[in-house]
Structures are given as C-alpha cells and as structure tokens.
Chain A
Amino acid sequence: MGKHFAGHRRLFYGTNAQSMKTVVTVKNLVKKFGDFVANDNLNFEVYQGEIFGFLGANGAGKTTAIKILCGLSKPTSGEITVAGFDVYKQREEIKKNIGYMSQKFSLYDDLTIHENIRFYGGIYGLSNADIKSKTSQYMEKLKLHEYAKSRVSDLPLGIKQKLAFSVAVMHEPQIVFLDEPTSGVDPITRRQFWDMINAEAEKGTTLFVTTHYMDEAEYCHRISIMVDGRIDALDSPHNLKQQFEVDSIEEVFIQLARKATRDE
C-alpha cells in the first residue's frame, strides 16, 4: 500500500521513477564546529519538481545544512552536489542556480516593488527586457498596481511574502530554498502561498522548504526530520504516518524530536 501510494505521488509531480532527475545529492555530509557535530552524516537526494520538507526542532542542524546547500558554508566532509555543482569547488555556480527566500530577509524594505525586482533581476543577470516583462507579470498576477509607488515596508505581509517568493524564482532556478516562508501570515494567505509553491513545482522547479506549521509538512511530497544533527526519518508524509502509526505529521515529529538529547 505504502509503495503503491509513493508511486502515485511521483506521477503527481510529473516525473516517473526511472527518469527522475536528481537535483540535490547529499552523501555522508558532516559539518563540525570544533567538537560540535552540527550535521552528523546526512544522506539524501532531492528530485526535480519535488516539494521536499526539511523539518527538525530548533537547533537540530537544519540551518547549517541549508547554508551548505546554498553554497554559503563548506562542509567538513562528504560529497554534495546542488543543481549538478559541487559544494566545495563550484559554490558561485550553485548560487546562480538556486533561489532563496526566508521570512526574515528577502526584499529590501526601503526600496519599492520595481526597485526590488530590478535589483534582484540585475544580480541574477537578467536582461532589461526580461526584468521589464517579469515586473509587469508580477504586478498583474499579484495585483500590485495600487502599491506601485509604495516601499516594500508598507506592503501587507501577505503580499510582501508572495512578492518575495516571485522574486526568488525570477531567474528560473532549478531549486528554491524556502526558510519558514509562511511564518506569521494569516491562514488564507498561507494557503495561497502554498498554491504558488505547488504551481512552481508543477513547472518542474524543486522546492526545499522548512516550516514550523506541521499541517504544511503534509503538503510536501517527501519530508525529512532532523534530530540532533541526524536525519531520523525520510519518506512521504503518508508513509511516515503509517510507519509511526499516527494520524498526523505533528505526532511523528513530536515522537522523534522528543528523543533529542542535545540542547540548541
């Protein structure tokens, strides 16, 4: 039953098991800070078009791993490629081929919407024509016309987050890292945001998501749960609930995270 279901999930995101392209490969990833082992031998792959949930308690090692995958920090050891590039030698290539958004930092508050789009478009090397067409596309799709002249700091949070997401995928990266993207937004906007995530996955973009909302973990095709620097579980939400014999991912998470022995 579990296997059968997993097969369906693969069809669901538009690729079949044989031709699934791997976008992130992590083999034996270890990251130490002095004696402290922040990432303790991580192994996983993430596929094209997949929504991959990266969960764990505060201090479990998620941020350390994400920094490595984004090319911002070097691992102590392990073989890791992101978008086909090596995290030791090709970190600049990685940065060009990924997108990143977090609730804490994404857009420049004292620039307008246009200025933000132009800034990020410029950074990622888009042509002026592309920047122009993306700008009008976003203004239309996110209904931003009434805010055209406003600084980003004056936008409602929900709109700011949708814009931040659009800007993060503007250069059509193979993979986008979303670090607690929906923290603090109202429940309707939170769901609209997930609709955008799903639509992006349908186009073949890979989404790597962290969240503290356990219901959102259920929207991921697969999730991993980190405990004390290790990945203690990795499967589809459906299979994990079956394996742990519970009804929700929250219960899976609590069972696993309660085993943690190290403090943040």
Chain B
Amino acid sequence: MSESVIIQNLSKTYPGVKALDGISCTVNQGEIFGFIGPDGAGKTTLFRILTSLLIPDEGTASVDGDDVVKDYKSIRSKVGYMPGKFSLYQDLSVEENLKFFAGVFKTTIAENYHLIEGIYKQIEPFKHRLAGKLSGGMKQKLALSCALIHKPTVLFLDEPTTGVDAVSRKEFWEMLHQLKSTGLTIIVSTPYMDEAALCDRVALLQNGKILSIASPEEIVAEFPHKLFGVKAKKLYQLNELLKLEDQVHSTYLFGDNIHLVLQENVSIEMFIEKIKAENFNDLEWESISPGIEDCFMELMHKA
C-alpha cells in the first residue's frame, strides 16, 4: 500500500502553547484516517500545516509526494479541505459557491459532477438559496461538495461532526464510507471517541502528542487491564465511593454503568463483596471489553 501522507517529527508552538510536539505518522492511500482528541489537542494546527496554510516550526510533512512547505502550490490543487468553521460565502447561493470553487481550481461543475453527485443531489433543489440561509446539515453537504469539486486525492475534514446530532453524524459517516469507495484518502478529526470505530486507523491525540496510532481493533486489544462493568441504582454515589478505594486503579461513569479497573492482584469477587456491604446490595458486575474511550483515558493516565 502506498503512503499518501507522511508526517515526520512535526512541531508547532504558539506563544505559551506547544500545539504540536514532535508528531510522526503516515496515512495510507485510500484509507479513512482519524485524528481523535479533545479541543486543544492540536488537530486543527496539524490540518492547517498539512494543507499548506501554516508553516511548521520543526519537522517535515508531505501529501501525495509534495512537501507541505516547498510545494504549497501543487498541494493546494491536490487536497480538499473542509475547515471546522463553515467558511463558504454566506451571501452567494448554493450553486454560486460551488461554481466559485470549481472556477478557482480551473474546472467546472459538469466536469466533476459525478464526484459530488451523491451528496450534492440532496441540496440541489435549493441551489438558488443563499448559503447563509441553509440549515446546518445542508451547509455541511455544500461544504463537502465544494471541497470535492476539484477532484482532490486527499480530503481533510476538520471536525465535521462537532455539535451535530447523533442521527446526522451517522449519516455523515455513511457519506464518508461511500467516498472512500472511490479511492479517495480521507483524513478526519473528531472529539467524539465513538467515531474512532468508523475509521480504518486512528491516531489518538492529546496536548500536541500522539498517544497511540493503530486500527481501532488494535487499540482496544492493547488495553492493559481487565475491565469490569458495574451497575447499581445509586450509580453516582457508587462511583464516588469507588474513587476513594485504594484497590481501584480507575473508575469512570459510562452511561448506565461504571467502568472499573482494579489494582493488580485484587480479586474482583472479594472486592465486590466488600463494596456491596457498604450499602450497595443491588450491585451487579460483569467482565466487559474496553472501547476507544477507555483506552484514551488509560493512555491519558500514563501520559
């Protein structure tokens, strides 16, 4: 498999903040690669460097064989970039925006219509509406169409699903998987840990550093502890109690149960009996498999 993006030892510092701290990784052609991390992890800085909009302090990166500093002109025609903030022209219509972006890249809507058809068709009935008057979901579809109209080989999507409801998020990921089938390399960032499972490979990012790079399955397989799911009616109080226990390595609320890791050599059966005696008679537990969020928190612990 050939490499589409190569990142070597990339660093970027803003006054008082090390936004990127020696990041290295590669993205293969045709994969969906996710940079997963909270706000401030360095995702946007990284995307801006990779799309030639920002110059790194140290390190190098190339996209599709072009250096992000030296070959900035050719990079700009190769990549599609959808920034986190809606940045189309609000006072142009849907169609005018698309025409504008096609024109900038010296192509036409007709020439590359097949690339955007699946997405653009959904907003085409509103093509005379001003972009500023579109709903959030429609804006997103237009932005994606504009990012694709010049037939990029690599698509960068910076937090496309932030603030988007669960249903629209699901639909957006379905669109990405359809795009992937055309051979496009897709690099996406998200603060939602559950979206990691929808990527081929992910890099977990925190404070400008990569905590781990692997497929979601591998990341989960590398979780170094036994994980238990614990339920009780007074869940919050139970979690507060567990936090104070020496025999607990970590305890976190996860929806309707607690994810518990014990210190090494502590017997779960004996531990549970002890906690039950502290007024949590209804406590139930089972062994569970970790998710990406468990792994992310474990890696944060270590870092």
Which A residues lie at the B interface, using CB under 8 A?
A: 5, 8-9, 12, 56-59, 154, 156-158, 180, 183-189, 191, 194-195, 198, 212-215, 218-219, 237-238, 241, 248-250, 253-254, 257-258, 260, 263-264
Please provide the chain B residues from 146 to 198 with a CB less than 8 Å away from any CB of chain A in the complex: 162-170, 191-193
- Interface assignment of B300: CB less than 8 Å from any CB of chain A: yes
- Interface assignment of B87: CB less than 8 Å from any CB of chain A: no
Cross-chain contact A185 with B38 (CB below 8 angstroms): yes
Cross-chain contact B163 with A180 (CB below 8 angstroms): yes
Partner of B253 from A184, A194, A241 at Cβ < 8 Å: A194
Given A12-B233, A187-B193, A264-B135, are A253 and B40 also a contact pair (CB < 8 Å)? Answer: no
Q: Is the interface of B mostly helix, strand, loop or mixed?
A: mixed
- Interface assignment of B297: CB less than 8 Å from any CB of chain A: yes
Q: Is the interface of A mostly helix, strand, loop or mixed?
A: helix
Cross-chain contact B38 with A59 (CB below 8 angstroms): no
Cross-chain contact B137 with A212 (CB below 8 angstroms): no
- Interface assignment of B16: CB less than 8 Å from any CB of chain A: yes
Cross-chain contact B233 with A8 (CB below 8 angstroms): yes
Cross-chain contact A254 with B170 (CB below 8 angstroms): yes
Cα A241 to Cα B255 with chains together (Å): 12
- Residues on A with C-beta less than 8 A from B252 are 187-188, 191
Cross-chain contact B193 with A212 (CB below 8 angstroms): no
- Residue in B closest to A8 when the chains form the complex, CB atoms: B233
Cross-chain contact A254 with B256 (CB below 8 angstroms): no
Cross-chain contact A184 with B191 (CB below 8 angstroms): yes
Cross-chain contact B136 with A264 (CB below 8 angstroms): yes
Cross-chain contact A215 with B164 (CB below 8 angstroms): no
Query: What is the distance, in angstroms, from B188's C-beta to the closest C-beta of chain A?
Result: 15
Query: What is the distance, in angstroms, from B242's C-beta to the closest C-beta of chain A?
Result: 12
Cα A1 to Cα B165 with chains together (Å): 31
Cross-chain contact B163 with A157 (CB below 8 angstroms): no
Cα A254 to Cα B171 with chains together (Å): 11
Cross-chain contact A187 with B297 (CB below 8 angstroms): yes
26 sampled A-B residue pairs with Cβ under 8 A = A12-B236, A58-B135, A58-B136, A58-B164, A59-B135, A59-B136, A156-B40, A157-B40, A180-B163, A184-B38, A185-B38, A185-B39, A186-B206, A187-B252, A188-B300, A194-B253, A198-B236, A212-B165, A214-B166, A215-B254, A218-B256, A219-B236, A258-B167, A264-B136, A264-B137, A264-B138
Cross-chain contact A58 with B168 (CB below 8 angstroms): yes
Given contacts A58-B168, A157-B38, A186-B37, 9 further A-B contacts (CB under 8 A): A5-B233, A58-B164, A186-B206, A187-B293, A187-B296, A212-B163, A237-B256, A257-B166, A264-B135
Query: What is the distance, in angstroms, from B129's C-beta to the closest C-beta of chain A?
Result: 11
B10-51 vs A, CB cutoff 8 Å, 1 = contact: the mask equals 000000100000000000000000000111110000000000
Cα A254 to Cα B173 with chains together (Å): 15
- Residues on B with C-beta less than 8 A from A213 are 192
Cross-chain contact B39 with A184 (CB below 8 angstroms): yes
Query: What is the distance, in angstroms, from A238's C-beta to the closest C-beta of chain B?
Result: 7
Q: Which 9 A-B pairs have the closest CB atoms?
A: A264-B135, A218-B255, A186-B38, A184-B39, A215-B255, A57-B165, A257-B167, A198-B236, A218-B256
- Residues on B with C-beta less than 8 A from A57 are 165-168
- Residues on B with C-beta less than 8 A from A212 are 163-166, 169
Given A237-B256, A263-B137, are A184 and B296 also a contact pair (CB < 8 Å)? Answer: no
- Residues on A with C-beta less than 8 A from B240 are 195
B34-70 vs A, CB cutoff 8 Å, 1 = contact: the mask equals 0001111100000000000000000000000000000
Cα A195 to Cα B238 with chains together (Å): 12
- Residue in A closest to B236 when the chains form the complex, CB atoms: A198
- Residues on A with C-beta less than 8 A from B256 are 218, 237-238, 241
Partner of A154 from B16, B38, B138, B297 at Cβ < 8 Å: B16
Given A263-B138, A264-B136, are A191 and B253 also a contact pair (CB < 8 Å)? Answer: yes
- Residues on B with C-beta less than 8 A from A238 are 256
Cα A260 to Cα B136 with chains together (Å): 15
- Interface assignment of B234: CB less than 8 Å from any CB of chain A: yes
- Residues on A with C-beta less than 8 A from B169 are 212
Query: What is the distance, in angstroms, from A56's C-beta to the closest C-beta of chain B?
Result: 7
Cross-chain contact A249 with B168 (CB below 8 angstroms): no
Query: What is the distance, in angstroms, from B67's C-beta to the closest C-beta of chain A?
Result: 31
Query: What is the distance, in angstroms, from B245's C-beta to the closest C-beta of chain A?
Result: 16
Cα A253 to Cα B300 with chains together (Å): 30
